[in-house]
Amino acid sequence: MKATKLLLTLISLFTFSFNSFCQQFEVKGKITDTDGQPIPFVSVFIKGTTKGVSANVDGMYSIKVDRGVVSLTFTVVGFKSATHTVDVFDNITVNKTLQTEQYTLNSVVIKANGEDLAYKIVRNAIKNRKAYLEEIFAYNSDVYIKGMQKLVGAPKKFFGRDIQKTLNLDTNRNGILYLSESQSKFSYMKPDRIKEEMISSKISGRNNAFSFNKASDMRINFYENLLLANTGLSARSFVSPIADNAMFYYKYKLLGKSEENGLTVNKIEVIPRRKNDPVFRGVIYIADNTWRLMGTDVILTKDAGVNLIDTLNIAQHFIKIDKYYMPGNLKFQFNGNVFGFKFEGYFISFYSNYNINPKFEKGYFTSEILKITKAVNKKDSAYWANNRPIPLTDEERKDYIKKDSIALRMQSKPYLDSLEKANNNFTLGKMIVTSYSINDRYHKRSYTFDPLIQSAFYNTVEGFAVKYGVTYRKTYEDNRYVTIRPEVRYGFKNEIFTAKLSSYYYYDATKRAGLGVSFGNEIADLNNYGTMNLLSNSINTLLFERNFPKFYKKDFVSINTQRELATGLQAYVSLDYTKNHALTNTTLYKFRDYDDRAFTSNNPLNPTDDTPAFPTYQSTSITASLTYTIGQKYMTRPDAKIYTESKYPRLSLRYKKGFDGLLGGDTDYDLITFEAFQERIGLGLFGYTSFVVGAGKFLNNNKLFYPEFKHFRGNNAMFFPPNLRKFRFLDFYQYSTNEHYFEAHLEHNFSGFILNKIPVLRKLKLEEVIGFSYLSQPQKKNYTEYYFGIQRLVFGISYGFAFDNGKKVNQGIRVAYNF
């Protein structure tokens, strides 16, 4: 018995000693300069490893280490690296002061009118650029990303709403709008294969949300010639300071040299040669002899063509991994002012635990570039306290506490009821101008009533008319939802009343799958793509005596479904029954009568005769389509599958069959079409290109009527909503076909490449556009359009020419509006 007690005591003592030995302790502190000012985002690594953390914006850091003697290395661009060795046997505070890096020019002699020595250094860096770009075949690492945006000034009211209360700001209308953190495991292999698995995610005030932080979005490699393409910052890319053609865009100045860990590092200022070129300004650090980039601290401004923000600072620091240098941390810091809302913020990514050239198993890289599981946002505050590599600031900590407590309250029915009582208040402005909604957030449902201003319209078929609808939406778990929309329409001149009911159930977001059903009757456009909206047609008809759209009435039942069959492959099937009735003009009323104009009939094939374009008939048809995106990448979340923009075209194959005799159908035809298209193909400094190529043929056209023809997106109006597939001068209806066709559209946006060089115009940030459209079908074998113009945001103006078989048939101005 005594022996047993002794054995248990020894085991207990051993376990206690072992746990004490293996226990990790916290080393924390503040990093400052020699003036006592905090140094933000300093990298702190355990010497000889890639395990580390980063200081926050206030210079505070915290790192977990094992018991024993530990050496910590502190590094940041612009300061001398330092190492601090400490014997850790308990939690300990280690404050550190870093010396400003002294860059001297004592040994540099610059002759009068001679070239600055920075040019020689940069030329060597350019010469080695490609080798360093391609030297890493594969790697993986842990990546922590923090994003924070806050308002630092705002108007008291915006569209009548109190900004302080609406955005939950302080009395000075300052406060954090968005705060998020994420941890991921990121893997890369040449040439461009990536895979990321999110380990944890947290968004202030949104306990059930998933962060959209992506390590791939935080990648920037200054060894590439062009940077930040397709990021939304600008329509063009930005030229790297060490790009192959960088000397054409930059001037350089050597600010000094310093010694660091046996390396001589050159501090070089990069200066735009021209104020408005898409280039950076700031400082880069290049090592002698190896000519590697050691760090960057550069900015982009409005002069460089960035949108929405005033300045963007990009600071990157590299750490040595074996013989390579990899990013240690990367910071995007920005500020701006939009409509009186002054904002600032940052995104910072911190990289640790690098593994250079890992052995990935076969099939490791797939089309899935980011995976987020259900457990990602379930980590508690204790987890984050132990695993967060960048400490929270006091402001961020208070924001989490405040918004997380509000988020819990917001889930309660009393709170949501009080919120809805305020938001659902009825006003004439909502009912007439915007829309009136009744939201029930607790039960996740809403009713939205159309604005009255969009409900009244006029055309020569119905006269003055009204159309009104209400949309009901119910949301379920996993991003599933159902919508139900009843809609009625009545023409006061032709006295035709129509009503329809449409419903759609989106039942699987991970498979992009849904089922739709609709039935009733409606007044529809004879061109199934539509010509112009009801308001635009009302203006053209009443003010300019132009009745472009042509209408017919149809009674219908439609059932459709769609689903993803494989990554990038989407299938769609619909079964449709319609009974179609031709309509005629019932009024020729207009506000102004033009001597040289007259309304045309509602028969598009005979504009001077109102004889019906077709008899009343029935149609039963089935439509099936497959759409495939080449090289499609995607992100998966527990509640959705999110496609990213592909670098390759999208292909679409569609087949439609009309059945004679089925459900009383009077049609018999087979139409097959194919289309290839891609938008915003980046061409670097020269903007981007978009194209569409399509062809089709009626394999059988035994029995069909005009509504079943293949129609095209034409345009007869000066003002029109733009669409890549839209012709600018082609009649809406005359060249629809029941045989075969080929069409092509190409548009290039120079994104200010030309106008940006003109001093007066560059401030307007106009984008130059040129385009080409082509159509061939039995009645119009070689129809071509050419146009050129400028655009900005939602407006554009162009001048174009139309040729039919080489003969000019039209020309003029077109004004595009995209709202």
Tell me what pLDDT residue 214 has: 84
pLDDT at 207: 67
Q: How many residues does the chain have?
A: 819
Residue 552 to residues 127, 360, 584, Cα–Cα distance (Å): 68, 61, 8
- Order of all β-strands in the sheet with 82-88: 52-54, 43-46, 68-75, 82-88
Q: Are 719 and 536 in contact (CB under 8 A)?
A: yes
- CB count within 10 Å of CB 565 equals 11
Judged by DSSP in three states, 629 sits in: strand
**Pairing mode, if any, of strands 281-287 and 807-817?**
unpaired
Residue 679 has pLDDT above 70, yes or no: yes
**Cα distance between residue 818 and residue 795, in whole Å:** 6
Measure the CA dihedral 423/428/434/438, to 10°: 40
* Highest mean pLDDT out of 144-148, 353-357, 520-524, 534-538: 520-524
Mean pLDDT lowest for which of 156-170, 272-286, 433-447, 747-761? 156-170
Least confident of 3-12, 156-165, 268-277, 307-316: 3-12
Tokens found for residue 435:
């829309």
Contacts of 360-367 with CB under 8 Å at 24 or more apart are: 360/138, 360/187, 360/189, 364/187, 364/195, 365/187, 365/189, 365/193, 365/194, 365/195, 366/195, 367/567, 367/568, 367/632, 367/633, 367/634
Helix axes of 413-423 and 394-410: crossing angle, nearest 10 degrees: 90
**What's the whole-number mean pLDDT along residues 73-77?**
87
SS3 content of the chain, % helix, strand, coil (to 5): 15, 50, 35
- Residues 626 and 583: beta-carbon distance below 8 Å: no
What's the rounded mean pLDDT across residues 278-296? Answer: 93
**Contact between 187 and 194 (Cβ < 8 Å):** yes
- φ and ψ of 106, to 5 deg: -60, -35
Which string of DSSP letters, residue by residue, matches 466-508? EEEEEEEEEE-GGG-EEEEEEEEEEETTT--EEEEEEEEEEEE
- Residues in a beta bridge with 315: 297, 331
Q: pLDDT class for 413, splitting at 50, 70, 90? A: low
CA distance 437 to 450: 9
Structure tokens at 431: 């009912």
Which residue did the predictor score with more confidence, 275 or 242?
Answer: 242
pLDDT, position 411: 64
Distances (CA, A) of 122 to 260, 292, 645: 19, 10, 34
Domains of the chain in sequence order: 20-97 (2.60.40.10), 118-408 (no CATH), 455-645+653-666 (no CATH)
Percent of the chain with pLDDT over 90: 60
Choose the weakest-confidence range: 122-126, 408-412, 529-533. Answer: 408-412
For residue 233, pLDDT over 70 is answered with: yes
Nearest C-alpha neighbor of 534 from the set 611, 451, 642 = 451
Report the alpha-carbon distance of residue 761 to residue 197 in Å, rounded: 46
Q: How confident is the model at residue 107 (pLDDT cuts 50, 70, 90)?
A: low
pLDDT score recorded for residue 6: 46
**Please, where are the H alpha helices in 545-652?**
none
For Cα atoms 721, 725, 726, give the angle at the middle one, nearest 5 degrees: 45
Using pLDDT thresholds of 50, 70 and 90, give the confidence band for residue 172. Answer: confident
Q: How far apart are CA 177 and CA 206, in angstroms?
A: 12
Q: How far is CA 730 from the centre of its chain?
A: 33
> What does the pLDDT average to over 464-474?
96
In this predicted structure, the answer to whether residue 807 has a pLDDT above a threshold of 70 is yes
DSSP string spanning 315-334? Answer: EEEEEEETTEEEEEEEEEEE
- Residue 33: closest CA among 82, 84, 68: 82
Joined together, the tokens standing for residue 686 give 């020269």
With tokens 């992506």, the residue in question is 214
Q: What is the distance of C-alpha 750 from the center of its chain?
A: 20
Distance (Å, rounded) from C-alpha 124 to C-alpha 102? 23
pLDDT of 812 strictly over 90: yes
Q: Between 101 and 460, name the one with better pLDDT.
A: 460
Cα→Cα distances 632→628, 643, 645, 683, 739, Å: 9, 7, 8, 20, 34
Structure tokens at 313: 């600072």
**Percent of the chain beyond pLDDT 70?**
93
Query: What six digits make up the tokens of 812?
Result: 């003029």
Structure-derived torsion over alpha carbons of residues 661, 665, 668, 670, reported in degrees to the nearest 10: -120
What is the rounded average pLDDT of the residues 426-448?
83
Q: Is 42 left (phi over 0), alpha (psi -120 to 50) or beta?
A: beta
Return the exposure string of 54-83: e unless at least 16 CB atoms fall within 10 Å of the residue's CB, then b: bbbbbbbbbbbbeeeebebbbbbbbbeeee
What is the Cα–Cα distance from 61 to 153, expressed in whole angstroms?
29
What b/e readout covers 11-39, taking b as 16+ CB neighbours within 10 angstroms?
eeeeeeeeeeeeeebebbbbbbeeeeeeb
Rg (alpha carbons) of the chain, rounded to whole number: 33
What are 348-386's pLDDT values in tens digits?
A: 999 989 999 899 999 999 999 999 988 888 888 888 888
Average pLDDT over residues 249-258: 93
- Helix (H) or strand (E) segment spanning residue 405: helix 394-410
Confidence at residue 212, expressed as pLDDT on a 0 to 100 scale? 72
What's residue 378's pLDDT?
86
What pLDDT was estimated at residue 412? Answer: 65
Highest mean pLDDT among 44-48, 233-237, 434-438, 738-742: 738-742
Q: What does the longest C-alpha to C-alpha distance in the chain come to?
A: 120
Q: State the Cα–Cα distance between residues 362 and 376, nearest whole angstrom.
A: 26
Q: How many CB atoms lie within 10 A of CB 808?
A: 9
